[in-house]
Amino acid sequence: MDEDQIHQIAKGNELDGYSKIDRYNQEKIDRISSHYGGILSDLGEDPSREGLLKTPERVAKALQFLTHGYDLKPEEILRSAMFREEYSQMVVVKDIEVYSMCEHHMLPFFGKAHVAYIPNGHIVGLSKIPRVVDAYARRLQVQERLTNEIRDCIQSTLEPMGVAVVIECKHLCMSMRGIQKQNSVTTTSAFTGAFVNEKTRAEFLRLITASLD
Ligand X SMILES: Nc1nc2c(ncn2[C@@H]2O[C@H](COP(=O)(O)OP(=O)(O)OP(=O)(O)O)[C@@H](O)[C@H]2O)c(=O)[nH]1
Candidate segments 24-32, 33-41, 173-181, 205-213, binder of ligand X by CB under 6 A:
173-181
CA separation for the pair 164, 202 (Å, rounded): 11
Please provide the DSSP assignment of 142-189 as one string.
Answer: -HHHHHHHHHHHHHHHH--SEEEEEEEEEEHHHHTSTT--SS--EEEE
Residues 141-170 that bind ligand X (CB under 6 A): 142-144
Q: Annotated catalytic, 153? A: no
Strand partners, 140: 101
- The residue (of 45 and 144) whose beta carbon lies closer to ligand X is 144
Residues 28-87 that bind ligand X (CB under 6 A): none
Q: Does 105 bind Zn ion (CB under 5 A)?
A: yes
CA separation for the pair 8, 65 (Å, rounded): 11
Show Cβ contacts of residue 129 under 8 Å, excluding neighbours closer than 6 positions: 93, 96, 115, 154
- The residue (of 79 and 105) whose beta carbon lies closer to Zn ion is 105
Q: Annotated catalytic, 102? A: yes
Q: Annotated catalytic, 198? A: no
Answer yes or no: is 105 a known binding residue: yes
- The residue (of 151 and 171) whose beta carbon lies closer to ligand X is 171
Q: Does 181 bind ligand X (CB under 6 A)?
A: no
Q: What angle do CA 165, 171, 177 make, to 5 degrees?
A: 165
Which residue's Cβ has the minimum distance to Zn ion?
173
With CB under 6 A as the rule, give the number of residues binding ligand X. 10
Q: b/e for 99-116, b at 16 or more Cβ within 10 A?
A: ebbbeebeebbebbbbbb
Q: Catalytic residue positions?
A: 102-105, 143, 171, 173
Q: Which residues are annotated as a binding site?
A: 102, 105, 173
**Residues that bind ligand X in the complex, under the rule CB under 6 A:** 102, 104, 142-144, 171, 173-174, 178-179
Note the residues at the interface with Zn ion (CB under 5 A).
102, 104-105, 173
